[in-house]
Amino acid sequence: MAYAGNRCGSCQATYPVKSPALKRALEKAATRPGCLMMVLEALQEEAGNLEKSDLEELSQALCIPLSEIYGVATFYHGFKLSKAAKHAIRVCTGTACHSKGDESLLAVLRDKLGIEPGQSTADGRFSLEVVRCFGACALAPVVKIDNDIHGKVTPESLPTLLERYT
């Protein structure tokens, strides 16, 4: 029989959570058994990233070992442990974008920002990441900056695009 992992999310009532972001995340998302991923999503939404101190408190609040939380937080691409830069640049490297020149966009970004995917600029303005597919394949190549999806980006149009994010 599969392990039911039935940690409830109701334990939070007994643990005095100090972090306001975590408190809000728990209120919003700790609604059912197995809610860990939902809480992490909400926490990241609130705080921008998953801070170690928040995860330590979360471990207490949900009665889940910190190692297990760390395991989940590092398994999925969507979770970020380090501080978010002001603007997150995400270059799609899905199949369609690959066939339409995602590499040339990455080359421009490497050159302009001086960072590799997974890094942030020293001034904290931009972070660069590669991701797999936003599902806007028809407009490939696609670059997402913060919450804006930009389609049919070219190495020529990219620098101007960046200037819009100060």
Partner 1 sequence: MSSMVEGITAKVGLATCGLAAGAQQVADAFSKEGVHVWKVGCLGLCHLEPLVEIQKEGYPPVLYSKVDPSKVSLIAKASAAGLIAEGAYAIHGARGNWKGADIIPRLEELPVWKLQTRRVMSNCGVIDPQSIDEYLAVGGYSGFKRALTISPEQVIQEVTRSGLRGRGGAGFPTGKKWALCRNSPNTPRYAICNADEGDPGAFMNRVLLEGDPHRVLEGLMISAYAIGSNQAYVFVRAEKKLAAQRIAQAAEAAKDKGFLGTEIMGTPYSLQVNVALSAGSFVCGEETALIAAIEGKRGMPRARPPFPAQAGLWGKPTNINNVETLGHVATILANGADWFAQVGSEKSKGTKSFCLSGRVALTGAYEIPLGTPARVLVEELGGGAAEGRKIKAVQTGGPSGGCLKAEELDLPLDYETLQQAGSTMGSGGVVVFDETACAVDIAKYFLGFTKSESCGKCVPCREGTYRLHEMLDNFSKGKGKEEDLEKMVYLGQLMREASLCGMGQGASNPVLSLTSKFREEFLQHAREKKCPTGVCPMR
Q: Is residue 131 at the binding interface for partner 1, with CB under 8 A as the rule?
A: yes
CB of 150 to partner 1, least distance (A): 6
137 near partner 1 (CB under 8 A):
yes
35 binds partner 1 (CB under 8 A): yes
149 contributes a contact to partner 1 by CB under 8 A: yes
Residue 144: partners with Cβ closer than 8 Å, 6 or more residues away: 88, 89, 90, 92, 131, 134, 150
Is 38 a binding residue for partner 1 by CB under 8 A? The answer is yes
Name the residue nearer to partner 1 (CB basis): 11 or 149.
149
- Closest distance of CB 21 from partner 1, Å: 17
CA-to-CA separations, 26 to 4, 49, 76, 97, 161, in angstroms, rounded: 21, 15, 20, 37, 37
Site string for partner 1, 97-126 (x = CB under 8 A): xxxx--------------------------
Closer residue to partner 1 in complex, CB, 3/163: 3
Residue 40 makes contact with partner 1 by CB under 8 A: yes
Structure token digits, residue 144:
């997402």
Q: Which is nearer to partner 1, 115 or 137 (CB)?
A: 137
Q: Which residues bind partner 1 (CB under 8 A)?
A: 1-7, 32-38, 40-41, 68, 71-72, 75-79, 93-100, 131-140, 142, 147, 149-152
